[in-house]
Structure formats: structure tokens, C-alpha cells
Amino acid sequence: MQIPAKPFKHYLLQKKKRKKKKMAGGEMWTQIGSSLAGLMFIWAMFKQYFPFEMEGHLQKYTQKLVSFFYPYIHITFNEFTTEGFYERSKAYTAIERYLLTNSTTRAKRLKADMVRDSKSLVLSMDDYEEIVDEFKGIKVWWASSKNIPRGQVISFYRDEEKRFYTLKFHRRHREIVNGFYLNHVMDEGKAIEVKTRKRKLYTNHQSEQWVGYRRTCTMWSHVVFEHPATFDTLAMEETKKKQIMNDLITFTKSKDYYKKIGKAWKRGYLLFGPPGTGKSTMIAAMANLLEYDVYDLELTAVKDNTELRKLLIDTSNKSIIVIEDIDCSLDLTGQRKKKEEKDGEGDGKDPVSKKKNEDDEKSKESSKVTLSGLLNFIDGLWSACGGERIIVFTTNYVEKLDPALIRRGRMDKHIELSYCCFEAFKVLARNYLDLKSHDLFETIGKLLEETKMSPADVAENLMPKSNDEDADACLANLIDAIEKAKEEAKVKAEEEENERVKAEEEKKAKAEKEEKDKEKEHKSDEAVEEKKTAGEEVKENGVKENGG
């Protein structure tokens, strides 16, 4: 079979063309490779022999030339600052937190890490990854990069790989980015950090234990704050709960308002009432509601007013500073009164008074915090060194506190936590026994109206002590405990009344005795005066007779 001449020639011609194209393509890639190799050689020679001082100038003018044609602006945020010992940049941390929400949904390459003080695993952009963000209708680009040092460098402080974020945006959006977007990123990043962090409970050390290249490093030690108390579980009237919660939430949203009225963004709460009424639990509920850290300040460990100020400076924003049982912490409340009474104490020969004075002197040696120093801590110039702080005092005896310490403006809201009422009991019954109603509730309500019992005592009686105890048994135990407390209170009231009557009788008898003594003394003085007068008259009469 013979192949026609024309189709065969056409086939050979097409084959030759394809061969030429392949050769041309191969030659093209060869030429490109040769060109790149030549450019790399020239760049290496340039870097080797071109003066380093000229590189900066060349880069400067090259960037100026490019800026005429390239419409985008770049802002770099480095991971570490050069201040101090290369501390991690707060701006970089805020951006990292902000980009968490976008990177997990938009980035193709992520890296996972367990960040310190974070509740869970944190996903972030991997190196050399880029994502797009939108703000008020404009687009911006975030890129994660790092610089690797050319030579081997030994560092005692950090990894020498310098990571940074780069923000790219069109130059026509400069005002929006600089004026609004960057502030938005910082605020959102800080808010995300607060929400995702592990909250802490701090306590202060004595100044002798402050160590480190910065003395502020160990002013406070901390543990993770995991107290489960909430306002839902707090034994208190519902109306009072809502009032306190509204007050707290309003405070957190009032930054601009406090700035407008010229006050530091802080608020003071005084919690007072008998022992066992839930003052510490209230503080935990406040911290959980607002997601704040808690600083438990032990005044007896503070040497003087200066150290008190340093401790205040070292507290963070979004925190609650607590001084529990302030009437017992130091002898601050009676300093003014003591000063007034000092002149009238005499030599202090009474052994009890002498012992008390010695104890006071020892207390002064260990801590020289004064009432004035504490007032400045709460309300002075140093109180404005941070924002969004709550200061809480607790006391069992509010009448012992100096009025200057708890006046409005220092302790803005006074909250009395009293004995258990029926509404508080219902909350405890729901918490401990999962009961919303029961036949014995009415009996318990009447007993609580007649008897003073703290919520702590009520809760202890409601708690099952074994698997055999059910709700009925626990309520019966509570009724018995309340009736017993009622009898004890009755007996105590009778004893107090007897003591009062006895004291009044003793006081009356003492007054009568003093009156009789005064009368006897008065009569004695009159008798002496009469004798003296009679003697003078006799003497005068004798002189007259002799003279006559």
C-alpha cells in the first residue's frame, strides 16, 4: 500500500516545525538560566566589593524611584523592642492576637503553639504567609516574615531569628489606616488577649524577697484563678444582685465618661457584714463576671508607703485590688483617735495597757504604712497610673473604720452583706439540693426571719454528709440548726440583759457611793473650816482682851 505524496510531505513538515519549537524552547530556558546565573554572579560580586556604606544610599534612592510607580505603603512591626533586655513588643502581641480570627479561616499554612497564660492551643500564621483583612470597605494585607542572621550569633536572651509582621495598604488609605485601623487592631488584640488568657490570683511578697535584675519582677507571685463563684450561685436577694451587676458592667463601659468628668478610671467597693456572709465569695463573683485578675494585698507585708505605691504601679489594668479585713490588717483606723488620746494616757502603768503599747510598737517596726499613705494609694495622684481597676475593702466591723477611708469617692459603693434571708436560702437550696420549692420552705422562711444565721452556716447544713442523706434530711437538719441557734441566741440575749442590768446596778451603786463619799468629804471640809474659823475668833478675842 502506497502513502499519497502530499499528506506525507505535510506530515514531515509539521514534524520538523515541532522539533524546531522544542529546540527553541530549550534554548530559551537555557538562556534564562544563563541570565539568572549571570545576575547572581554580578550581585555576589557587587555585595563582595561594593562599599557597605554605599548600599544604604543605593537602597534609599532605589526605594524613592520605585515609590513613583508603586502605590502601596508598608509598615513593619518587629517582635522584640530594643528597650531593656529585648522585651516582646506589646504591639506585635496585640497584632498576633488580632490575626488569630482571620488566620484560622483564611491562611493556608498555620502554626500551633501553647502560649503562656493562654487557656487553649493558639493557631497563628506561619512564616511567609499572607492574609487579607477588610476595614470600612478598604483592603489591607498582613504578612508574617522573619530575618535569619547571616552568621552564627550567640544570644543569652532570645532566638536571633527576628520575626515581624508587615502591613501593606494603598497610599490613598493612609489616613484611615493610621487614624482608625491601627487603633482598632490594638484594641481588638488586647480584648482577645484578655478573653483567652488564664486569669490570675496575685499576692504580694515582703520587700526583702524582691529579687532579680528588676526588683519589680517578684513583687507579686500568682496562681491561676479558678474560683467557681458567680452571681448566679451567690446567696443574695435578686434585686440586690442585679443592682451590683449593673453597676459593675456600667463601670467597664465608662472609660470615656470618666475621662470627661476628670476622674481616674477606678471604682471602690466596701463589703461589710458579719463573718460568713459571703464577702470573699462576692469578690470572686465580681472577678468572674468582669474577667479580671485579682490582687490580694497583704498590708502587713508592706514595709512603708513607698513600697505600697510600687505595688500599685506593678498591678495590671482590668484587675481587682483586694484588702480583706482591713480593720485587722494594720492599726490604720484608729491613728487619728490614738493621736488625740496619747496626751491623756499618762505613764501607762497599767500592765494591760503597757502590753498593748509594746505590741503596737512591734507592729510599727514591721510595717510603717500610714492611713495617709493608704488614702493616697486609693485616691491620690498615683491611683491614676492605670485604668479599669476596682478596689475592694472588706470588714466585719464597719464602725471601726476611719470615715476618711470609706467616704464616697474612695469607697464609692457600700454593700452590706447580712444574715441569710429567705431569698438567699432559696438560692442555696437550688445550688446544694437542686430544689426550687419544698413543703419545708415556709417553715424555714419563718425561722430565718426570727433567727440570725449566716449563709455559710445555712450552706453547711444543706450540704449532704453521706450518700444516705436526701433533700428532706438536709432540710430537717437545717431546721434543727436554726431552732438551736434561736435558743442559743435567746439564752445569750438573756445573759446580756442580765449583764446589762448588773452593770447598770453596779454603775448606780458606784455613783451613789461616790456621791456619799463626796458628801462625807464635803462635811469633813465644812467641819475643818468651822474649827479654823472658831480658832481664829478665839485668838482674835484673846488679843482684844490683852489689849484692853
Question: Average pLDDT, stretch 386-395?
Answer: 92
pTM higher than 0.75, yes or no?
A: no
Please state which of the ranges 283-297, 380-394, 431-445 shows the lowest mean pLDDT: 380-394
235, 251 Cβ separation under 8 angstroms: no
Q: In this predicted structure, what is the pLDDT of residue 327? A: 85
Query: Does residue 232 come out as left (phi exceeding 0), alpha (psi in the -120 to 50 range) or beta?
Result: alpha
What residue type is assigned to position 244 of the chain? Answer: I
Residue 286 has a pLDDT of: 96
Q: pLDDT tier at 520 (50, 70, 90 boundaries)?
A: confident
Q: What is the chain's Cα-based Rg?
A: 41
Give me the pLDDT at residue 18, please.
65
* Rounded Cα gap, residues 50 and 468, in angstroms: 90
**pLDDT tens column, 124-171:** 777 888 888 889 889 999 998 887 765 555 554 445 678 889 999 998
Is 245 a residue whose pLDDT tops 80? yes
Nearest Cα residue to 304 out of 395, 206, 384, 424 = 206
- For the segment 2-28, what is each residue's pLDDT rounded down to a tens digit? 545 556 566 666 666 666 555 555 566
The tens digit of pLDDT for each residue in 333-349 reads: 554 455 445 444 444 44
Contact 348, 354 (CB under 8 A): yes
Give the phi and the psi of residue 88 in degrees, each rounded to 5.
-70, 135
CA–CA separation, 84 and 79 (whole Å): 14
Phi first, then psi, for residue 57 (nearest 5°) are -65, -40
Q: What is the pLDDT of residue 378?
A: 85
**Counting beta carbons within 10 angstroms of the beta carbon of residue 64, is it exposed (0 to 12), middle (13 to 18) or buried (19 or more)?**
exposed
Sorted by sequence, the CB contacts under 8 Å of residue 165 that are 6+ apart come out as: 76, 77, 92, 95, 96, 99, 142, 143, 144, 145
Element (H, E) at 320: strand 319-323
Q: What is the phi/psi pair of residue 222, to 5°?
A: -145, 160
What is d(CA 525, CA 219) in angstroms, rounded to the nearest whole number? 70
Neighbouring C-beta atoms of residue 322, cutoff 10 Å? 26
36-40, 115-119, 253-257, 334-338: range with highest mean pLDDT: 253-257
Closest by CA position to 386, among listed 302, 287, 292 = 292
Partners of residue 392 on adjacent β-strands: 269, 322
Could you report the per-residue pLDDT of 473-505, keeping only the tens digit for each?
A: 999 999 999 999 999 888 888 888 888 888 888
- Return the HEC string of 101-165: HHHHHHCCCEEEECCCCECCCEEEECCCCEEEEEECCEEEEEEEEEECCCCCCCCCCCCCCEEEE
pLDDT value at position 393? 95
Cell numbers at 37, concatenated: 546565573
